[in-house]
Amino acid sequence: MKKFLSLLLCIIFGLSLAGCSDSKEFKKEGVTITLNSSWKEVETPYAKVLYQTSKAAFMVNKENPSDFVGYTFFKDKEHPSKYGDLVLTANNAKLDGKSVSSTDEKTNNGDYFAYASYDNVVNGIACRYLLVVMYGKEDLYCMNFYCAKSDFEFSYDTFLSYAKTIVVE
């Protein structure tokens, strides 16, 4: 009975993230992403863009490559993991207490992005993030999906599928 209830809760949570509802395209600050209609835009001083559901969030920050004096790897559009690793190192990001590095991947339209998971505590809540970085024509995009660490196992695949819909200017 416990296994059945646990499985049922997992399915319900997964459906709430993946959504039974229609997909919805969001576009702001040079980033277009397709999420489901349960996501809503929220204003915040901490990010250029923030979309949330009752269980998860996605935020966007833009950076100017000229702020990174001495770094030349921003010209390598096919390996944004170099930028991702810099972000992870600068923030001392860890996953289960261990250092992490990012992985290069392609979006649905063939652009490159890099991603990595890491942990952080926010307002006393243990959270797990999926960092997504991309190079735009003029800007660098540092984006994060996040949720409670206990929910991440059920959110990871959905977050990654959403990441593959991202288009940046």
CATH superfamily of 2-168: Mog1/PsbP, alpha/beta/alpha sandwich (3.40.1000.10)
DSSP per-residue string spanning 59-116: EEEEE-GGGSTT--GGG-TT-THHHHHHHHHHTT-EETTEE---EEEE-TTS-EEEEE
In this model, does residue 152 exceed pLDDT 90?
A: yes
pLDDT at 70 (0 to 100): 83
Residues 37/21, Cβ–Cβ less than 8 Å: yes
What does the block give as tokens for 112? 């490159």
pLDDT at 21 (0 to 100): 55
Report residue 74's pLDDT band, with 50, 70 and 90 as the boundaries.
confident
Burial class of 131 by CB neighbour count within 10 A (0 to 12, 13 to 18, 19+): buried
Please name the residue that has the structure tokens 């833009």.
Answer: 62
- Which pTM does this prediction carry? 0.86
In this model, does residue 144 exceed pLDDT 90?
A: yes
CA-to-CA dists, residue 169 to 42, 49, 99, 106, 132, angstroms: 21, 15, 31, 16, 15
What DSSP designation does 47 have?
-
Report residue 105's pLDDT band, with 50, 70 and 90 as the boundaries.
very high
Torsion of CA 128, 151, 113, 67, to 10 degrees: -30
pLDDT tens, position by position, 157-167? 999 999 999 99
Average pLDDT over residues 103-125: 96
Domain ranges across the chain? 2-168
Q: How far apart are CA 31 and CA 42, in angstroms?
A: 15
pLDDT at 115 (0 to 100): 98
